[in-house]
Chains A and B, each alone.
Chain A
């Protein structure tokens, strides 16, 4: 008998679709239904840089244990794209399931004997049911969701309820969608062995969690953080940040009395202009932000240096994608760490925050405005396509209504009137952060000239070397103050004596944790730390110092965070070992554990090359 993967509430399914055929919403329906059955899910959209026609995939991982990263490997492929079929069938794990549209017979050369092949005549069912071409295309997706519900033994009622919720306000669409679900469901029950070896059953593992994409969370965070001016230039994968900001601003920021907007969104002519607008607005006392990705940050560099040197609060959300250059614009990476940390010429250092969940995107977005104004410097919130554009399971969003915005050191007209001795770049209280005034504060006091050229403590232009140097040293002291304000790392001791640790950030978290669990089962125990910001604080140094070897897990080729750690702390290369994935897909747990094991065996002293890295997990 052919091998069959058997599992309950634990599998990876991949949908192979054609871009632009409406598959995303059906796939999303499938993932959300599982979520409503109380199962932790992790959906990931893998899409091309194309509007219509190219292959696109949607991967859903279900894990009752709550692992939310990519596992690696695929147990079920649902294939409705003949274009990518040869590769898709190859991707199925041995003993897994390949479900396809058998209206056209499968090319015999593709058949694999170690895979369970299941045919559903999707096109035929559609052609019999629907006359209209567009309907045939759209409902085909819904029909396969119905069939899957039967094959996996999903609670069908959850699906139909979800359809009713999703089409609230568009009731006309409810019945046709439920009908399509039923078509697939009934056909599968009548013609196939249901369920297959992989099944789901209702569970209670999601608690009060929500399913949300990081970009929406950033946009909402900007609303809660009091941003009033957004300036941006469209770029994947950051575009939906400003979309979300606008959506919620229209809800909560239109003055009911006057109908006027308590916000302004300007779509700039390019990223240079976008960041210039943010700097102008922040200089003038509004909270302002931009959202972009690597190519945009490259263009913004000159301005980021101005904001660093002239000490102007600036908030930038960098939703990273695969570079260099245009790279793979719809694939994920954490490869802007160095270029963001040192964005701009001269001795410049920028503050980075690394959220790893939608909740943290929300929290850090709101926090970034407080930090920018308190620290008077750019704050770059570093997410990526994986976190930004996929629905991620997350703790619910919360806001403490007693919290107050920290507007930083700003001198008021009254204080000036009462004799405050204002010097824009004078460090009066020793934390190296100076007082500023908003333009227009007082008729005769507190005015100053903001510039990117050197100046003295009273903001008067100077080319005196000592004064320039003094200012640059103050900025270094400010860097130390910053460490006290940015979110510290999270530490996960394994509870045993160990000399190895792993260190990760952002979207590498879930897979790293899971890999740690795999390795623990093989008696390899590691302490773990998640870095949440740059500059690093002392805890990060202490963690690295207290371990003989630390694996730095990240999604780029050049081990960028490791480079940053070595530069800031002067650790040697023997101490910090890289675990990398940069093929544009989110790093998987299997990949990480494989690389760590290889390191521990002592095999890989030289840097890992692509083959050993990306192929590491047999993906």
Chain B
């Protein structure tokens, strides 16, 4: 069946292939603090989804609890959303994906939600290679409970109210690599130019795609002494290179920038162009990705960009060999074997 696309449209606003403007991908007005990094990430999500021409209602926004997990209310207002419980978004997405493989699952979480209470689920959803995008809005603190250190707070980093953190930080990209994630990237909320193509690539990737986005908390953790402040990240970010996302529908040659070092064809036919800056990184080698992450950790610089990608990734549905038709679309007649079979079963139990 077909639906009417909303008729009223500002004549100047650019529309995508579905005829939607960017406004069709926006959500309610944000109630986060002015300047919060999370809002910039929401903006990047809106831009990426609009430019990729994804039907908004075919996206499910999934989150846990935290300022970051509230963010899905502020983008994609036409999509279903699920604000679950603290640290447990991955399991809800896993069930949702099992029920309907044909939707795009966009998970949003915080560093507390992921690296502390949700560490177990994060590790296991990566390991199962669930086909989803997992964005961590990583501010190195618990925003919603007023600024406590989180497990991604760097050793020695101090938040507005606190002493320098004495524990070593969990690197979510490194953890995801160890756990078997098939797409691992890091970015910065203040770098839309990098973030938008990474989100597009993550959406197109089949399998578990993590983007760990450093996202300063202006209220509790943007002070001098914090390694997750705007200033620190701007000074210490080092990109692996740049990424261009080229949808299949575009004439590839017209969009080429010369000098890219890799072209990856995605399973839907679109392609990724990687312009490498970091000579040591082979983004298709997990070992190289882990080494490069460690090198940057030693140098106290923040490695951003696409860090690893498995081009031949098999997602959980591939592994389980589930029906191509979504399980939630199967009819009673296909599911219920009927009384005859029960009679045979009864006979075998006598």
Contacts and interface: CB of A to CB of B under 8 A. Distances in A.
Contacts of B336: 223-226, 399, 405
B165 to A, nearest CB: 27
Contacts of A449: 72-73, 80-83
A440 B327 contact: no
Given A228-B327, A273-B120, A444-B57, A450 B81 contact: yes
B346 interface: yes
B100 A452 contact: no
Size class of the contact patch on chain A: 35 or more
B57 A261 contact: no
Given A262-B323, A270-B120, A449-B73, A279 B92 contact: yes
A212 B349 CA distance: 7
Contact of A276 (B3, B77, B100, B121): B121
A407 to B, nearest CB: 9
Contact of B57 (A272, A397, A404, A447): A447
A404 B332 contact: yes
Interface in A473-500: none
A278 interface: yes
Interface in A391-449: 396-401, 404-405, 413-414, 417, 437-444, 447-449
A269 B121 contact: yes
A452 B96 CA distance: 17
Interface string A311-331: 000000000000000000000
Interface string A252-282: 1101001111111110111011111111111
Nearest to B65: A452
B337 interface: yes
Contact of B99 (A211, A229, A260, A414): A229
A212 B324 CA distance: 35
Interface stretch (A3-11, A147-155, A283-291): A283-291
B51 to A, nearest CB: 18
B78 interface: yes
Given A273-B88, A440-B60, A264 B320 contact: yes
A326 B100 CA distance: 36
Contact of B335 (A226, A273, A451, A461): A226
Interface in B307-350: 316, 320-324, 327-328, 330, 332, 334-339, 341-343, 345-346, 349-350
Contacts of B102: 440
Interface string B86-114: 00101111111111101100000000000
A399 B338 contact: yes
Given A279-B92, A280-B91, A413-B1, A262 B98 contact: no
A302 interface: yes
Contacts of B328: 228, 281, 284-286, 438
A438 B343 CA distance: 35
Contacts of B103: 284, 439-440
Contacts of A270: 120
B121 A260 contact: no
B60 to A, nearest CB: 5
Nearest to A278: B95
Given A284-B100, A405-B332, A442-B3, A398 B339 contact: yes
B79 interface: yes
A193 to B, nearest CB: 33
Given A36-B350, A306-B85, A449-B83, A277 B3 contact: no
A261 B350 contact: no
B89 to A, nearest CB: 8
A363 to B, nearest CB: 12
Given A399-B339, A447-B77, A447-B78, A280 B345 contact: no
A272 B91 contact: yes
Contacts of B6: 444
B171 interface: no
A452 B321 contact: no
A370 to B, nearest CB: 11
- Most A Cβ at <10 Å: residue of B78, B95, B97, B350: B95
B341 A252 contact: yes
Nearest to B3: A443
Nearest to B91: A276
Contacts of A452: 83-85
B321 A283 contact: no
A453 interface: yes
A608 interface: no
A486 B58 CA distance: 35
A276 B98 contact: no
B56 interface: yes
A400 B342 CA distance: 11
A301 to B, nearest CB: 11
- Most A Cβ at <10 Å: residue of B58, B91, B128: B91
A261 B5 CA distance: 36
Contacts of A35: 350
Contacts of B124: 268-269, 273
A276 B92 contact: yes
Contacts of B3: 413, 417, 442-444
Contact of B80 (A36, A208, A414, A448): A448
Given A306-B84, A443-B57, A269 B350 contact: no
A404 B332 CA distance: 8
Contacts of A260: 321-324
B73 to A, nearest CB: 6
A210 interface: yes
Given A36-B350, A284-B100, A439-B103, A262 B334 contact: yes
B238 interface: no
A255 B327 CA distance: 12
B55 interface: yes
B349 A211 contact: yes
Contact of B98 (A226, A266, A274, A437): A266
B308 to A, nearest CB: 23
B338 A440 contact: no
Interface in B56-72: 56-58, 60, 72
A450 B103 CA distance: 17
A92 interface: no
A268 B120 CA distance: 11
Contacts of A208: 346, 350
B80 A443 contact: no
Nearest to B77: A447
Given A269-B120, A269-B121, A449-B73, A282 B330 contact: no
Contacts of A440: 57-58, 60, 80, 100, 102-103
Nearest to A285: B328
Contacts of B339: 398-401
Given A439-B60, A443-B56, A447-B79, A228 B99 contact: yes
A200 interface: no
Contacts of A461: 73
Given A276-B88, A286-B99, A262 B350 contact: no
Contacts of B88: 272-273, 276, 302-303
A41 interface: no
B95 A280 contact: yes
8 contacts: A226-B332, A276-B94, A286-B95, A440-B60, A442-B57, A443-B5, A447-B57, A450-B82
Interface of B: 1, 3, 5-6, 55-58, 60, 72-73, 77-85, 88, 90-100, 102-103, 120-121, 123-124, 128, 316, 320-324, 327-328, 330, 332, 334-339, 341-343, 345-346, 349-350
Interface of A: 35-36, 208-212, 220, 223-226, 228-229, 231, 248, 252-253, 255, 258-266, 268-270, 272-286, 288, 302-303, 306, 396-401, 404-405, 413-414, 417, 437-444, 447-453, 461
Given A262-B327, A276-B95, A439-B80, 9 more contacts: A252-B341, A269-B120, A279-B92, A280-B95, A283-B82, A288-B99, A302-B85, A405-B332, A447-B78
The 8 closest A-B pairs by CB, nearest first: A276-B91, A280-B95, A286-B99, A277-B95, A439-B80, A281-B95, A284-B99, A280-B92
